[in-house]
Amino acid sequence: MKERILKRFSDEITALDRELKFELPKEIKRARELGDLRENAEYKAAKERQEIVQARIAMLQKRVREIQLMNLDRIPRGRAGFGSTVHLRGGNGDIIVYQLVMPEEADAEKGLISTSSPIGRAILNKEEGDEIKVVTPAGNREFELVKLITIHND
């Protein structure tokens, strides 16, 4: 999981770096050739894109450093943590399956819940059989953790 995120970030950094070093300089050069830079929308757009790309690269590099420092051995065994798959029974008896992931991977429709989301925070450090109460904008919800698979079980 950690490697998958690092690969995705590395690929994005490579693509953005190529844009920053090769594509944007060409756009800026073409725009300069159009004349007066004060009223040159193409030039301004290219310069703004350059700043956005630089900021995105810096943010991605920071997240890569943070992720590389993550020690997966510190994730609890027998309790919900990053990478865990949880089976929750809702008040109506239905079972919902979630995997706890980093914010960059979150996709509720696919059952990928960020560890920093309200439900993700409520699930952290819970064990099988625990009751989970989640305060959401739509109201309070209660679940029972009926099955837990941690990254150590994979």
Where do the domains of the chain lie? 2-70, 73-149
Please say whether the beta carbons of 101 and 67 come within 8 A. no
CA dihedral 101, 105, 108, 109 (to 10 degrees): -130
Question: Averaged over 17-28, what is the pLDDT?
Answer: 94
**Which structure tokens are listed for 8?**
């995705």
Specify the pLDDT at position 78. Answer: 86
**Contacts with 128 (C-beta within 8 Å, 6 or more apart), sequence order:** 145, 146, 147, 148
Report pLDDT digits (tens) over 54-90.
999 998 898 888 878 777 677 777 899 888 999 999 9
**Contacts with 50 (C-beta within 8 Å, 6 or more apart), sequence order:** 20, 24, 28
Specify the pLDDT at position 154. Answer: 53
Assign a CATH topology to domain 73-149: Chitinase A; domain 3 (3.10.50)
Assign a CATH topology to domain 2-70: Helix Hairpins (1.10.287)
Q: Is the pLDDT of residue 23 over 80?
A: yes
Is it true that 2-70 and 73-149 share their CATH fold?
no
Question: Averaged over 114-127, what is the pLDDT?
Answer: 92
Q: Is the pLDDT of residue 51 over 70?
A: yes
